Every structure is written in C-alpha cells, then in structure tokens.
C-alpha cells in the first residue's frame, strides 16, 4: 500500500481534490540513480538542464515524445518516498496506450476511468494505492468495501 501524491497533467487546471500540478515542457521526473534529485519531479528552469541529463521521464511527453498522451492526466504513487537510489522512481497512475499494454512499473487506465478517479480522490481523506493480485482483491473486497471488478 502506498500513499498518493498530487495529480498532474497537461491542462492548466483539473477537477480533483487530490491537488494538481500542471506540467510544462521543462518538467522532468529524474530517474537517474546517481542524481541527488532521484525520483523527484523538477523543472529545468529551477535546477538547470544538466540536472536532468540521462533522465527518460519528461512530464510533457506530448512535447518531448511525438505527441505521447500517457501523462495528459495522472497522479503520483509514493512508492519510494525517501527517494532512495535504485529503489524505483517515477511511479505513477496515468493514461494507457491500449487495454492490456504493459507499463514500466506504473498503473495505467483509460481516460474515462482516470477522470472519474481524479474527481473521486480527496487528499483530505488520506487515500492510498493498494496493489493486489486478483485473488487477494476478491478475498478482501467485502471487508475493505472495494467495488466489484469490471471485466
């Protein structure tokens, strides 16, 4: 189980109680193990372009990666809150490329589900992200008051 960070995306504003940070073409999540900025979203306006050298996570993928829309909407999953090198970085819930298409460690969904989730999430209620195998989800569903899974 992981705490959640703020929502992010390409729009100037977003309807969510999770808190929202609009991303610009200067925002990167640093995934370079040797960097003191590891697992942090930073702006090259603040840290300089050299600080993100070698990073593969531009937060405006649409502007850096041929119109990619994966990060048009999403939120941070705080799986490595101490930003320990080699413990994983830049883990998000974001939009998917297609149903069943794998990510590099993130959770992905269609835009309608992301819209509904972002409108429902409320930072004041301390939401958490629970990553469960399907069998465990079914076992805990009633006691945790989880919704039934969609097909």
Per-residue confidence (pLDDT) for residue 145, from 0 to 100? 86
Q: Is residue 22 part of a domain?
A: yes
Per-residue confidence (pLDDT) for residue 90, from 0 to 100? 96
Three-state SS annotation for the chain: CEEEEEEEECCCCCCCECCEEECCCCEEECCCCCCCCCCCEEEHHHHCHHHHCCCCCECCHHHHCCCCCCCCEEEEEECCCCCCCCCCCCCEEEECCCCCCCCCCCEEECHHHHHHHHHHCEHHHCCEECCCCHHHHHHHHHHHCCCCCCC
Q: Please tell me the total count of domains within the chain.
A: 1
Q: Is residue 149 part of a domain?
A: no
What pTM was estimated for this model as a whole? 0.90
Q: Is residue 151 part of a domain?
A: no
Q: Is residue 98 part of a domain?
A: yes
Q: Is residue 77 part of a domain?
A: yes
**pLDDT band for position 151 (cuts 50, 70, 90):** low
**pLDDT band for position 148 (cuts 50, 70, 90):** confident
Per-residue model confidence as pLDDT tens digits over 5-63: 999 999 999 999 999 999 999 999 999 999 999 999 999 999 999 999 999 999 999 99
Per-residue model confidence as pLDDT tens digits over 80-100: 999 999 999 999 999 999 888
Whether residue 71 is predicted with pLDDT greater than 80 in this model: the reply is yes
Q: Is residue 131 part of a domain?
A: yes
Residues in the chain: 151
Range of the domain at 133: 2-144
Strand partners, 29: 41
Q: What is the mean pLDDT of residues 128-147?
A: 90
Whether residue 139 is predicted with pLDDT greater than 80 in this model: the reply is yes
Provide CB contacts within 8 A for 84, sequence distance 6+.
Answer: 38, 39
């Amino acid at each position: 189980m992981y705490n959640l960070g703020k929502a992010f995306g390409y729009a100037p504003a977003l309807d969510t109680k999770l808190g929202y940070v609009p991303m610009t073409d200067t925002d990167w999540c640093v995934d370079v193990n040797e960097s003191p900025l590891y697992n942090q979203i930073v702006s090259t306006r603040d840290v300089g372009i050299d600080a993100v050298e070698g990073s593969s996570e531009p937060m405006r993928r649409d502007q850096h990666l041929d119109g990619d829309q994966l990060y048009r909407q999403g939120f941070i999953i705080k799986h490595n809150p101490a930003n320990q090198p080699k413990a994983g970085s830049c883990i998000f819930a974001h939009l998917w490329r297609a149903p069943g298409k794998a990510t590099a460690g993130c959770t992905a969904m269609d835009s309608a589900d992301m819209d509904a989730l972002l409108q429902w999430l409320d930072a004041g209620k301390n939401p958490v992200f629970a990553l469960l195998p399907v069998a465990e989800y079914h076992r805990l569903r009633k006691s945790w008051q989880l919704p039934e899974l969609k097909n």
